A and B are shown apart, each in its own frame.
Chain A
């Protein structure tokens, strides 16, 4: 044991690097990452199909939340669908899905109780994700993407009292 600056004890351990002893030291071979990228590309269609189903559930849950803002189950459903979509969209060339999903999750994280104004944001974010998926708005989405980004950013700024 060693004594740290605060007088507390700690022990430093350097276990043998078993992983390195198995895989060696030369880094990834040239083709390894490219092959993995091809796997991602091959799963893009599957993601698009799954995401279409998920946005139907997302918009339905967000709409249901409008009618019952204190329904914790619906709120969690909205959060979890948005969370999964934000975690996957960017992998398949849909960074706007990740952006809007992230904005929705962070908004819900920061908002205790949902009022009429905040529900509009939840619905707007869900609708924006649905547009991106259903219209296959890939990459930055050009004019459509800019319009959606501007719309949601403005709604969030208004909710914060910044606009």
Chain B
């Protein structure tokens, strides 16, 4: 039986009106029951406290409270409604340093702009079918930052340094 997305509520945090419309439209076309959208990280945080969501699409560069700050709060604030919330960071910033920064704050998946229906669907499938365990160290809480492809670990050894 295919995914029953009519049972989920999704947050779209994006300050560009057209991008927000695009993401909302695609999610609804895929069958998502309810899309909650927001243009600011602080308002989005309050929104998910009042109405919990099942996953979030979050843009990086939003003012005054950025997508990164929103994510940090979700993962670590004492009043967070769900520190395990799956978060897809949607961004045009694909430089390595930026990706590392977001990963260190607990992003679940990256979706590089420009987005497509196919790329969005693939990231949702990752959240549903291939969730990563969460790691808690002295200075990190979030999805495991190790990426395995074909059983071979790719990337920098982090856990021993934490």
The answer to whether A40 touches B26, judged by C-beta atoms less than 8 angstroms apart, is yes
Interface residues of A in 21-49 (CB under 8 A from B): 22-29, 32-40, 42-43, 46-47
Asked if B2 and A43 sit within 8 Å, CB to CB, the answer is no
Which segment of B39-47, B70-78, B128-136 sits at the interface? B128-136
A contact residues around B117 at 8 Å (CB): 33-34, 36-37, 39-40
Check: A98 CB closer than 8 A to any chain B CB: yes
Task: Indicate if A63 sits at the interface (CB-CB under 8 A).
Answer: no
What's the least CB distance linking A23 to chain B, in Å?
A: 4
How many interface residues does B have (CB within 8 Å)?
53
Measured in the bound complex, the distance between the Cα atoms of B159 and A87 in whole Å is 33
> Which residues of chain B (128-149) have a CB below 8 Å from chain A?
128-129, 131, 133-138, 144
CA distance in complex: A9, B162 (Å)? 8
Ranked 6 nearest A-B pairs via Cβ? A6-B160, A90-B114, A87-B113, A36-B117, A29-B2, A87-B92
Interface segment among A10-18, A65-73, A119-127, A151-159: the answer is A10-18
B134 contacts A12, C-beta separation under 8 Å: yes
Q: In the complex, are the beta carbons of A50 and B26 less than 8 A apart? A: no
Contact of B30 among A15, A28, A86 (CB under 8 A): A28
Nearest chain B CB to A19's CB is how many angstroms away? 5
